[in-house]
Structure 1
């Protein structure tokens, strides 16, 4: 069967609700098993149906991934792990992190809810101790699949760095009834558009916080991990008048996929257009991606860079370094003709699908650095919306 035929058949299975069968078919194609008689991977359907936990990536698994060669063959049930970004895996069952790992002592981490015609989403908001009513920046953080706002906050330690810089940080929470694995639905056309679907909910949470608190409207940012990073790319593409910069960690470009089949292919092989926005330079972007990411291929990070730069004339500078006792990395900085840094690409050598420099208190983290949280917030605060854009 040709690849085009496989994709058509997988699309048909998806539309008929046979997600596991579609997944298995595409997995065989991606491994190069094209002969009609190839044996299909076996999946524990009972486990998936009952919600029992399939194998998935956690902090320990990610650390091991960066230190030893990948096994020649993975168990077939690892499909659930590899496709967690699409909501086919069961929820990761972790004990909630202690509050001491989420926020500094004595600092507020309040709850909120926003609703519109597309539904409702809860969120948590970090309020730094240095906030006394003056306008300060706001960072929106979009968690990855199976994560929660508390887990993501603990793993990235964004609240601790934001406390140093006096910034708000908000963590919208994806609902399990919107996606089984609590993934943001970055690959659905209805969730890639302005003023509709999940983008309208995330933008609505942003604006609600801007109404309830004194936020510097020229310094509002959005970032995410994995499916959350792909959603952040969507937000940058659809709400360039709201966000001054975006951060994409182990994610995919806006428009990289339009359904389950293309999402699977994009995750494994890279996907999306290299074309930038038609109405001028794209939003300033910082990208982090491990070059041994077996869940979302690092080609996706390179594609985000090409899409972000678009037709803008830039000068590049390449910096290479290594975290003491940790990963080597290559940092490529693109500056425009005015000398402004508009894009940074951090390729982390030997790293897998995990937040770089994160804390083991949260899931999907790699403590061997570099510190994506600190570098991301540093990049954000170097950018503000041009006058008249908000």
Structure 2
């Protein structure tokens, strides 16, 4: 295995043979590839991997997992492991975690940071695991019709694990979530599409949209250079996975490194298109901000009630892997003691927040809703709020778009680091001395100042020369949104809108 990259490093390309064993989502290898040639390639890969590997990672204490057998018929022949915190509330939430190729359940538990967040917020984590018997490189078979359909193969096995957690642990069927890296991220898309009646939300890390591939050949193309479909076409592929389902659709968070060459970052845009279309939302973000120690671009797509239906997190300066941020502060988690866990930002912390699990342990309080919530000022990057005090309140939880962003001892708060010209919806709730959250206040909506959009109309060639777009494989892609603008030539013309600075979207006929 390769040594894990340091903060800001780009994962170097590996030799084609060693990649078969070292990439978390390498060249897809399914059950159909069982010929002698593949065995010979695997032997060569093992030798090359040993030769090319760096020093062994430092040892660390393994997370305690419980192996579960007999959870169902298990048509996909998967393994099930559970991480259970020392104490759990009644009807706990459960997060399913799906590892990448060459990885396993234990390694994902040891490095992803999910168990430490489960300890903090009292939820179960189920680590599903595939083996080399299913796939030579221990990849989930997201690209095989025998495994990526409702009621079949690996997808059905994970569904049976979810049913078992309800029976064995009294898990809350209304708070069941799924996340995964790379092949596990692609399998996360499978579970959200095939079982929207089971999973309320999911987080796809360095993964792909559902329906991108149904065989090995198309999987190559999906990974790199990516497949460009319209939002409506992507949405239809999800609808076809469970035709009788009428909603609601799961909420989806997307995480992707901007220097990923294994699963190119275009897949983040295609995932966004797929799930915003299912939620009947625009493909332009409702608001943007910067999060984490490395200034990850955080895009939110809001539903009609102001909650975040889809979010996209574009992590700068990293390649292919799970972003982690080792440390002991509230927003840190994970370890880089194994390959493909990249020192950057604790994605599991933000995923837990997206799932709404930060407040899973307190029981509802009886404090009334704060009154008088209002904005007291806005700037290009901040919104200031105030509200009336509530008798018996120890502090107040502040929510932006339905997600708690902070607690405040005072009856005021200033939300900073926002994008100029962006719109935000806020609510607050009082909390008592036991940490129980009372009723939510009414909402207030505020828009930051500034950010008049800049627009350019030019040929694809001129956009690339000016740095507003890039060219790859004969096609042109807008910088930031990565929208496919067509062939790289002087004949095709588009209007690009820049908002915020350095982020371009196609705005033909709709740019001020």
User: Which residue does 1:20 correspond to in 2?
Assistant: none
CA RMSD, Structure 1 to Structure 2 (Å): 2.9
Do 1:236 and 1:245's aligned partners in 2 also have CA atoms closer than 8 Å? yes
Larger radius of gyration: 2
Instruction: Identify the residue that residue 227 of structure 1 maps to in structure 2.
Output: 183
Q: How does 1:162-181 map to 2 (within 5 A)?
A: 162-181=118-137
What does residue 371 of structure 1 align with?
Answer: 346
Instruction: Label 1:97 to 1:232 Cα distance change in 2 as closer, same or farther (>3 A).
Output: farther
- Could you tell me which runs of 5 or more consecutive residues in structure 2 were left unpaired when the two chains were aligned: 30-37, 240-245, 325-333, 359-512
**Contiguous gaps of at least 5 residues in structure 1:** 1-55, 104-108, 384-390
Task: Write the deviation string for residues 131-163 of structure 1: whole angstroms up to 9, x where unpaired.
Answer: 26x111000000100111110011102100111
Q: Give how far 1:120 is off.
A: 3.0
The answer to whether structure 1 residue 349 and structure 2 residue 316 are counterparts is: yes
Output the CA distance in 2 between the equivalents of 1:272 and 1:354: 23
- Distance in 1 (CA, whole Å) between partners of 2:16 and 2:156 is 37
Corresponding position: 1:212 with 2:164: no
1:67 aligned partner: 9
> Secondary structure of the residue that 1:379 maps to in structure 2?
helix
Q: Given the alignment, which residue of 61, 65, 85 partners 1:100?
A: 61
Q: CA 1:172–1:253 in 2, change beyond 3 Å: closer, same or farther?
A: same
The secondary structure found in structure 1 opposite 2:126 is strand
- Which structure's relative contact order is higher, taking Cα pairs within 8 Å and 6+ residues apart? 1
Change (3 A) 1:181 1:280: same
The residue that corresponds to 1:261 in the other structure is 217
Q: Secondary structure at the match of 2:349?
A: helix
- Number of equivalent positions: 314
Match of 2:338 in 1: 362
Residue number among 252, 266, 269 corresponding to 1:285 in the alignment: 252
Residue of structure 1 in register with 2:108 after alignment: 152
Residue-by-residue CA offset, 1:306-357 (whole Å, 9 max, x unaligned)? 101015135611112551xxx3321101111111111110001111101101
Q: Tell me, yes or no, if the aligned pair for 1:152 and 1:363 is still in contact at 8 Å.
A: no
Is residue 317–residue 333 contact of structure 1 (8 Å, CA) maintained in 2? yes
Q: Of 86, 98, 108, which residue of structure 2 is paired with 1:129?
A: 86
Relative to the length of structure 1, the TM-score reads: 0.73
1:316 aligns with 2:286: yes
Q: 2:129 and 2:74 mapped to 1: Cα distance?
A: 17
- 1:187 matched to 2:187? The reply is no
CA distance in 2, matches of 1:370, 1:137: 24
Structure-2 separation of matches of 1:116 and 1:59: 38
Whether the aligned pair in 1 keeps the contact of 2:181 and 2:205 (CA below 8 Å) is yes
Aligned pair in 2 of structure 1 residues 245, 112: CA closer, same or farther (>3 Å)? same
CA–CA distance in structure 2, aligned partners of residues 313 and 201 of structure 1: 32
Closer/same/farther in 2, CA of residues 340 and 200 from structure 1, 3 Å limit:
same
- Contact map agreement 2:76 2:156 (CA 8 A) in 1: no
How many angstroms apart in 1 are the aligned matches of 2:341 and 2:190? Answer: 23
Give the C-alpha shift of residue 282 in structure 1.
3.1
| SS at structure 1 position matched to 2:159 | helix
Question: Normalising by structure 2, what TM-score?
Answer: 0.57
CA deviation string 1:97-156 (max 9, x = no partner):
9673425xxxxx311123426243222101111226x11100000010011111001110
Q: How has the CA–CA distance of structure 1 residues 238 and 272 changed in structure 2, closer, same or farther, with 3 Å as cutoff?
A: farther
Q: List per-residue Cα deviations over 1:35-55 (Å, max 9, x = no partner).
A: xxxxxxxxxxxxxxxxxxxxx
Cα distance in 2 for partners of 1:98, 1:135 equals 35
From the superposition, tell whether residues 229 and 117 of structure 1 become closer, same or farther in structure 2 (CA, over 3 Å): closer
Distance 1:194 1:69 in 2: 35
Contact 1:257 1:271 in 2 (8 A): no
Greater Cα offset, 265-274 or 225-234: 265-274
Which has a greater percent of helix?
Answer: 1
Deviation readout 1:1-49 (Å, 9 max, x if unpaired): xxxxxxxxxxxxxxxxxxxxxxxxxxxxxxxxxxxxxxxxxxxxxxxxx
Higher strand residue share: 2
What's the CA shift string for 1:161-191, capped at 9, x where partnerless?
A: 1110000001011021110111000011121
Q: Give the structure 2 partner of residue 386 of structure 1.
A: none
Separation in 2, partners of 1:322, 1:215: 31
Q: 1:364 to 1:79 in 2, by over 3 A?
A: closer
Corresponding residue for residue 419 of structure 2? none
SS at match of 2:139: coil
Q: CA deviation at 1:364?
A: 1.0
Q: Using a 3 Å threshold, how does the CA distance of structure 1 residues 69 and 152 change in structure 2: closer, same or farther?
A: closer
Partner of 2:195: 239
